[in-house]
Structure 1
């Protein structure tokens, strides 16, 4: 279904990542195991059923556009849409694929517009994107000049979505998505110039451990880009939902920005700072034809949309940056 041989060959030429190669193929095999993912044969069938379409152009700087509307015949376009819809739900995007608009749950391009002004230049950088979903931001990072981007996400369906599109983008490009969590990254790797963790921290039972894991992926001086849910309040305050938060079971810690900056300092990061805070709007996260499950509107109290259905503050997301020691 997915061929990582070009990635493995590329890593042989990056001294800081060469040591990971000894265990990486076994990790990938475990991450794409049918024992773990019972629907994996269906996702493989969706990939193998994709039509052969020649892509003559791509765009990653201002959006993600793969090919043009005239590149595919109507029959090819119909088959393409049918196969991609077998990988529902599509969470991150949007994507334009031969004129087919994949209207994802998240307007991930809006988040990227908030992140981009605060990045150290990505030209020629080695980038890790932790919990990257289907890899939308990986392509935007590549479009911003990164020399190689490695995304990691333990969901095999997101990995299938990524490689369904990379089939047309170009399998030789140095952007890949591994079916792994951050626990699979070797400790003290200290290899990446920039590490992104966006929408992950609040899902971790131990946020300090996650921050330390992120720190250890970075070379000295490398930049961390952290995006997560926060709440209003002073230094030291943190919401720990006893039950669910916005109908999510696995939300553990929602700190204030001041608290999160303190956590970053405590785990060794230099110059942590909050660069953006924005409430999540129903325009940025919503149900679409490509994501037909519940979304933000269903997670908020209809009588008080500034609260979740459980009575917690409605989602607000912050972007913080810091540097590894």
Structure 2
């Protein structure tokens, strides 16, 4: 299923009010950890799967990337990314991640930020990326952490006074579709265990170089105090993989 919630006007409006939509990468709690996983980008050809508003595409160009292609299924996302970008070296295409069919060895680096938990067939995407990246090339991705996606509710357990007591984990081993709520809308996500995520990359031919389960930095916590509870359980899993 190719899900496109972001072209819903109400959903897109709500998304654009999120801190990361307003403040960009500096407002994304996981950004320092994701940036640390990236290889040298100078003179590299980069593909961004689920590019959203284009923050990572523009960062890659700032770091000297030779060319950047960002794809996203949402017309609204692509239009907004283009409006925020003023450089012909970045090309934005409306395309589903499931439909990528680039030339073999077309890219040096492929990234994907918080998009692949919306994709039903992660294995197909991994194989397509493996073909599209050069030997020695990198696949850097972030997804919602399996601890976060295990339960469809994706919410805390609250005390009698509304205080957040703990984050419940259940049905962890039961992989598959989760009917969740995000920004006031029904959204389909796909839960996979950490082992499945890692082994699927390995089976596609990648070597795992590093994992990260980041917490917000002290700077981010100072700027966005609401992030404090994000230090109590992992919300994101970041993976750096390399084509052997």
The answer, yes or no, to whether TM exceeds 0.5 is yes
Task: Show CA shifts across 1:137-194 (max 9, x none).
Answer: 111111122111111001111111112222xxx34x4112111123443255321000
| Runs of 4+ with >6 A deviation | none
TM-score scaled by length of structure 1: 0.53
- Aligned-partner Cα distance in 1 for 2:72–2:17: 13
Cα distance, 1:243–1:231 mapped onto 2, change above 3 Å:
closer
Secondary structure, in 3 states, of the residue corresponding to 1:216?
helix
Q: Which has the higher contact order (CA 8 A, sep 6+)?
A: 2
Alignment pair present for 1:252 and 2:190: yes
Secondary structure, in 3 states, of the residue corresponding to 1:250?
strand
Cα distance, 1:315–1:111 mapped onto 2, change above 3 Å:
closer
- Aligned-partner Cα distance in 2 for 1:261–1:197: 15
2:136–2:243 Cα contact (<8 Å) kept: yes
Q: Select which of 63, 66, 70 maps to 1:144.
A: 63
- Aligned-partner Cα distance in 1 for 2:80–2:30: 20
Alignment pair present for 1:107 and 2:33: no
Spell out the pairing of 1:89-168 with structure 2 (5 A cutoff).
Answer: 89-90=15-16, 102-103=22-23, 107-108=27-28, 110-166=29-85
Task: Show CA shifts across 1:254-278 (max 9, x none).
Answer: 322x4322221111112x1443103
TM-score scaled by length of structure 2: 0.68
Aligned CA RMSD, in angstroms, stands at 3.6
- Aligned-partner Cα distance in 2 for 1:229–1:94: 15
Cα distance, 1:162–1:253 mapped onto 2, change above 3 Å:
same
- Aligned-partner Cα distance in 2 for 1:157–1:115: 25
Aligned counterpart, 1:98: none
Alignment pair present for 1:240 and 2:175: yes
Consecutive unaligned residues of structure 2, counting only runs of 5 or more, are 1-6, 151-171
Q: Which has the higher strand share?
A: 2
Give the number of equivalent residue pairs.
Answer: 203
Cα distance, 1:185–1:226 mapped onto 2, change above 3 Å:
same
Alignment pair present for 1:200 and 2:115: yes
Alignment pair present for 1:212 and 2:131: no
- Aligned-partner Cα distance in 2 for 1:147–1:187: 17
Task: Show CA shifts across 1:202-237 (max 9, x none).
Answer: 11111111211221221122100011122359xxx6
Q: Give the greater-gyration-radius structure (CA).
A: 1
